[in-house]
Amino acid sequence: MEGGRKLIGNVSASGSKYSAMLALAAALLLPDRAVLRNIPKIEDVEAMLSIAGYLGARIERSDTGALLLDASSMENRIVTPELTERLHSSYLFLPVLASRFDAASIGLPGGCRVDDTRYPVEIADLYARFGFDLSLDLEQRTITAVRKGCPDPIRHLDFSSISYRDITMFTKTAVLLTATAPGMTVIRRPFMGPELRDMCAMLRQMGVQIWGQGSETLFVAGAGSLRPVDHTILLDWTEALTLLAAGFISGGRVTVENLPLFWMGSELAVLAWMGAELQLMNEPDSRPFGTASVSCGRTDQLRAVSFSTGSYPCINTDSHPILAACLTQAPGRSTITEGVFSHRFLYVEQFRKMSARLEYNGSAIHVEGPSRLQGAMVSGHDIRTCASLLLLALATDGKTAIQDWQHLNRGYEDLPGKLRLLGGVISEAQA
């Protein structure tokens, strides 16, 4: 990638990776046909679809881009570690298969190595509330759930003490388990992120009764039988942030035409605080998950910013490296405190190769700016590291080569292509 080019123009975000994962999992609960729209063509989605096909679901894409998934003939209830280690969201198959077949076994989830713990053993207590015994076999790298009794008729779950790292897994698992279970589940302090609200909207179409999504208490009453569904997922807020950041860090101006404005308040605030010039190009549409066109450039008054990552509505951990790249251009000392993943700091060494000035101290990363960035040979450890290195490359003198850039394709639908449309000079080659 050649640096020194100002990115200018309009671009659209693709469908959300995380909404797609939850929509595909929810569709497998349905012994019928589901139509899913706006599903992005990324490697993590393809890995999810491969597992669904392995389980016996029939999958096809229509001429209009809709994904048709029919799980009526799904019979397999075992997913091997070789399949699950490709992505972290593979843990979603366990509650789905256990709910449909009363017994299921999956391999340990994989994906980006941003934390040491991939599956918290404490989640066994959650499965027990639904009548399942959960066993973890580290030697065989498998997790097995077997129904041993009836679920509690009313299940009060308090997630207020669950860590930011685990709250998403606990909440998504609980909602999938309760979708077809008799009785009522009450979840205090659930994960409140946009992808969960999107899945709740889909499950309501399928006949599940849900109240309180987006609040601190979520009520879910399972449906005895589920209805076919036609659902359009949310747009990807992290991709939208990455595209806006490309306009900021390159000194140009990028307009994201379908930005999911309501789900990005914290991230947009950080951009504005550090000196981004954000302009709302039109009023958000009236849909429950509305979008608007927003442009991003930068002012002459850049400043250091400090923030922490956490569970929604805090700054998303996926946004951390993206915003860190922008902060390399802000005068002063910025501090990012990572509250979710213990290994999110792996991008620091790669940033330093490009002459960015960063220090890592425990859970805090300090960014000294502005840095005059230089092109270098760097390596992408995970999806967001790759994206942030692309952003740094925009602001460098010279050329940057990113090894292991293929991680990018697991979470972004052709991000290099979109940056090229905005004026970026990027070439891609397989190793």
CATH superfamily of 8-15+235-421: Enolpyruvate transferase domain (3.65.10.10)
User: Looking at residue 115, what is its pLDDT?
Assistant: 55
Higher-pLDDT residue of 192, 113: 192
Domain spans in the chain, listed from the N-terminal domain onward:
8-15+235-421, 17-232
Spatial neighbors of 19 by CB under 8 A, at least 6 apart, are 194, 195, 198, 199, 233, 234, 236
Region 355-362: what's the mean pLDDT? 93
What pLDDT, on a 0 to 100 scale, did the predictor assign at position 319?
Answer: 96
Query: Cα Rg for the chain, rounded, in angstroms?
Result: 22
Percent of the chain with pLDDT over 70: 97
Q: What is the mean pLDDT of the chain?
A: 93
Say yes or no to pLDDT of 352 above 80. yes
- Tens digits of residue pLDDT in 100-133: 999 999 998 886 665 556 678 889 999 999 999 9
Handedness of CA 192, 55, 113, 159 (dihedral sign): positive
Q: Which long-range contacts (CB under 8 A, 24 or more apart) does 349-354 make?
A: 350/378, 350/379, 350/380, 350/381, 350/385, 350/389, 351/324, 351/325, 351/388, 351/389, 351/392, 353/377, 353/378, 354/378, 354/389, 354/392, 354/393, 354/396, 354/400
Residue 37 pLDDT exceeds 80:
yes
3-class DSSP assignment, residue 224: coil
Residue 367 CA to residue 351 CA, distance in Å, equals 10
Strands across the sheet containing 78-79 = 78-79, 103-107, 142-147, 132-137
Output the CA torsion 307→312→317→319 (10° steps): -80
Tell me the average pLDDT across 294-315.
95
Q: What is the structure's pLDDT at 117?
A: 60
Question: How far from each other are the two terminal CA atoms of the chain, in whole angstroms?
Answer: 16
State what percent of residues in the chain have pLDDT above 90: 80
pLDDT score for 218? 97
Angle at 211 between CA 164 and CA 260, to 5 degrees: 60
How confident is the model over 71-108, as pLDDT tens digits? 998 988 999 999 998 888 999 999 999 999 999 999 98
**What's the confidence (pLDDT) of residue 286?**
64
Say if 8-15+235-421 and 17-232 have the same CATH topology: yes
Enumerate the H helices of 85-229 as residue ranges: 93-101, 123-129, 164-178, 194-205
pLDDT at residue 413 tops 90: yes
Average pLDDT, integer, range 314-337: 97
pLDDT confidence of residue 75: 86
pLDDT(10) > 70: yes
Mean pLDDT value of segment 175-198: 95
Span of 99-113, 155-169, 278-292 with lowest mean pLDDT: 278-292
| Predicted local confidence at residue 116, as pLDDT | 53
CA distance 315 to 194: 13
Cα 245 to chain center, whole Å? 18
Tell me the three state secondary structure of residue 225: coil
CA 36 to chain centre: 18
Q: Which residues contact 122 (CB under 8 A, 6 or more apart)?
A: 166
Over residues 147-167, mean pLDDT: 93
Confidence of residue 424 (pLDDT cuts 50, 70, 90): very high
Tell me: the pLDDT tens digits for 220-273?
A: 999 888 999 999 999 999 999 999 999 999 999 999 998 888 889 999 999 999
Q: Please state which architecture CATH assigns to domain 17-232.
A: Alpha-beta prism (3.65)
